[in-house]
Amino acid sequence: MTPQPLSRALVRAHVVRFVSTLSLLALVSATATAAPHAEPIAVTSNIRVAPVLAPVFDELVQASATFREQCDRIARASYVRVIVSAVMAQSTISRGSARTTMRRYAAGALIATVEIPVPLTMGEYAEFFGHEFEHILEQIDRVNLEQQTTTGAAQRLADGSFETRRARRVGQAIAIETERPAAGRPASEHAVPPVGTSGALRQDAHVTALKRQ
């Protein structure tokens, strides 16, 4: 008899999946120049990101206090591991999807795998990173998404998926902070690349699927 794969055997509680889709009204053409599938590198004690996204991560940490707080909270949750990989944006019309899959293990570990489309503008990266990391914090906080649909804090979409006001709000706040860095930060340091199209962003699909394993 073939032994069960280790990963399946370890997953005891549930898997949570999140999908966010960005669509742009404006036509934007771009070509990714870095290999999206390169091995992730450690950027904090428990967050690893694809090399192509490491400079983006550093930029967001410098630009946004809210993003720094998210990372600090994730760092304090030592049972959490976050792996951020880059996926090619699908087309010039739809900029692709950010996906977060979370596995909660019986021993307590929470492994979050985040896929971020590339390339995006800094404002778009800020919103995606902030939005998806907030979903990780929702899991750290043990938010009951089903229950939140009764208050309107979470919404169940036609396909059975969920979206939360909290993740939307925080993602947008981090995008704004990134575009308008806080006063007092030296202007010459870590200049944020121009962001021209984030106002046209529409984050229109979000899937949260709970699966018992």
Give the CB-nearest residue to Zn ion.
206
Nearer to Zn ion, 54 or 136 (CB): 136
Q: How far apart are the C-alpha atoms of 39 and 49, rounded to whole Å?
A: 8
Q: Give 54 or 74: the residue with its C-beta nearer to Zn ion.
A: 74
Q: Does 206 bind Zn ion (CB under 5 A)?
A: yes
Provide, rounded to whole angstroms, the least separation between the CB of residue 131 and Zn ion: 5
Least distance to Zn ion, CB of residue 154, Å = 10
Among 137, 129, 132, which residue's Cα sits nearest to residue 74? Answer: 137
Count of residues interacting with Zn ion (CB under 5 A): 3
Which positions from 5 through 24 interact with Zn ion, judged by CB under 5 A?
A: 20
Q: Is 173 in the site for Zn ion (CB under 5 A)?
A: no
Choose between 103 and 206: whose C-beta lies nearer to Zn ion: 206
Rounded to the nearest whole angstrom, what is the least distance from the CB of residue 39 to Zn ion in the complex?
27
81-89, 147-155, 188-196, 205-213 -> range binding Zn ion (CB under 5 A): 205-213
Q: How far, in Å, CA of 143 to CA of 20, rounded? A: 19
CA 202 to CA 182: how far, in whole Å? 25
| 70 three-state secondary structure | helix
Tell me whether residue 157 or residue 191 sits nearer to Zn ion (CB atom): 157
User: In angstroms, rounded to a whole number, what is the distance separating the alpha carbons of residues 19 and 139?
Assistant: 15
Tokens representing 91 are 């087309």
Region binding Zn ion by CB under 5 A among candidate stretches 50-58, 80-88, 109-117, 162-170: 162-170
- Range in contact with Zn ion (rule: CB under 5 A) among 61-69, 87-95, 108-116, 204-212: 204-212
Please identify which residue in 114, 167, 173, 201 interacts with Zn ion, judged by CB under 5 A.
167
Token readout for 157 is: 């979409």
Residue in 61, 56, 96, 68 with CA at minimum distance from that of residue 195: 56
Alpha-carbon distance of 182 to 34, in angstroms, equals 30
Nearest residue (CB) to Zn ion, 158 versus 187: 158
Please report how close the Cβ of residue 141 comes to Zn ion at its closest, in angstroms.
Answer: 15
**Cβ neighbours, 10 Å, residue 210:** 12
CB 28 within 8 A of CB 197: yes
The answer to whether the peptide bond before residue 181 is cis (omega within 30 degrees of 0) is no
- Which stretches of the chain bind Zn ion, using CB under 5 A? 20, 167, 206
